Amino acid sequence: MTSEFWAITSNAGNGTLFTFMPDPVKNANAVGIAARLNAANLSAEGYTLYAYAAVQAWAEAVKRANSSDARRVADALRSRSIDTVIGPVLFDSKGDNAAPEFLVYRWRDGHVEAVEQN
């Protein structure tokens, strides 16, 4: 999902299919942080904003639990959704993302495009 793939493969990468979560850079919640990262000459592509959201979720759960105890934080993460840079995040009773979503993408001429699924 990052430009590093194209830098390595160039035109040989044309048509390569892969799965990834929705592009968080296109999420309205991420516009501000993506702009700040770009201004600092950092990339918001790939897992960057997902990692940012994970830290946001952890920090909010610590606040909700009023503790950094792992069990209390885990319970707080599962208690209700948390607003993050990628949108609301919610975990089920096992700790899995309650709303995982993956899309199929394709590399075309140095750009990633979503593949229409019917």
Q: What is the DSSP letter of 40?
A: T
Q: Which range has the worst mean pLDDT, 4-8, 36-40, 93-97, 106-110? A: 93-97
State residue 118's pLDDT score: 57
The closest alpha carbon to 77, from 50, 54, 100, 51, belongs to 54
110 secondary structure, DSSP code = T
Among candidate residues 10, 18, 42, 20, the one with its CA nearest the CA of residue 101: 20
Where exactly are the structural domains of the chain?
22-101
Structure tokens at 87: 């949108």
Question: Could you tell me what percent of the chain has a pLDDT over 90?
Answer: 59
What is the three-state SS of 41-99? Answer: CCCCCCCHHHHHHHHHHHHHHHHHHCCCCHHHHHHHHHHCCEEECCEEECECCCCCECC
Domain 22-101: top CATH class: alpha beta
Tell me what the pLDDT averaged over the chain comes to.
90
The pLDDT tens digits of the residues spanning 29-81 come to: 888 999 999 999 998 888 899 999 999 999 999 999 999 999 999 999 999 99
